[in-house]
Amino acid sequence: MEITMKLVTAIINKKDASCVCDSLTEAGFFFTKLATSGGFLKEGNLTLLIGVDDEKVHDVLEVIRLHCCKRTESAPIASGTDAGILNYSSPQVVVGGATVFVTNVEQFEKY
Ligand code: 2BA
């Protein structure tokens, strides 16, 4: 039988995480939450693993899109001078509400 499932891996801004999780549950989706953090800002975010039938991927993405929004945040950066003095600056970066990967699932089992 042909496998028709996808794994949606969604890295969600922690400010949007609660709404996204509640809405996914309300809509009947199964998912796993992983506490993660961004490599750049080093702030906590939430990564969701959502296994879903192909035809429901669009619905999952809609829930995520509905509850996530981009925000501007400061990225504290330290740089040294020739005199050995540390300078700190805080450039602004636009941080997504969600970064999403959709991948094919080769096999799915529950025991
Ligand atoms: P962070 O790695 O903490 O990145 C936060 C924001 O900082 C990013 O927002 C982006 O605006 C900026 N940024 C990240 N890396 C940068 C770099 N090397 N140079 C300049 N600016 C940089 P988003 O792109 O919306 O990403 C939000 C979070 O999603 C990231 O947190 C990371 O946890 C995850 N993420 C984003 N793209 C990813 C990817 N290609 N692979 C894996 N995780 C990703």
Counting ligand 1 atoms within 8 A of each CB, the residue from 8, 37, 93 with the most, and so the one to mutate, is 93
- Ordered DSSP codes for 32-94: EEEEEE-TTT--EEEEEEEEEEGGGHHHHHHHHHHH---EEEE--EEEE-TTS-EEEE--EEE
DSSP strand pairing (86-89 vs 92-95):
unpaired
| Percent of the chain whose predicted confidence (pLDDT) is above 70 | 97
Closest residue to atom 37 of ligand 1, CA basis: 99
Closest residue to atom 28 of ligand 1, CA basis: 38
Joined tokens for residue 9: 């891996």
Mean pLDDT score, 7-25: 97
Confidence grade of residue 23 (pLDDT, cut at 50, 70, 90) = very high
Closest residue to atom 18 of ligand 1, CA basis: 40
| Placement of tokens 């999952």 in the chain | 60
Q: Partners of 99 in the beta sheet?
A: 11
Tens digits of per-residue pLDDT, 43-86? Answer: 999 999 999 999 999 999 999 999 999 999 988 887 787 788 88
pTM: 0.90
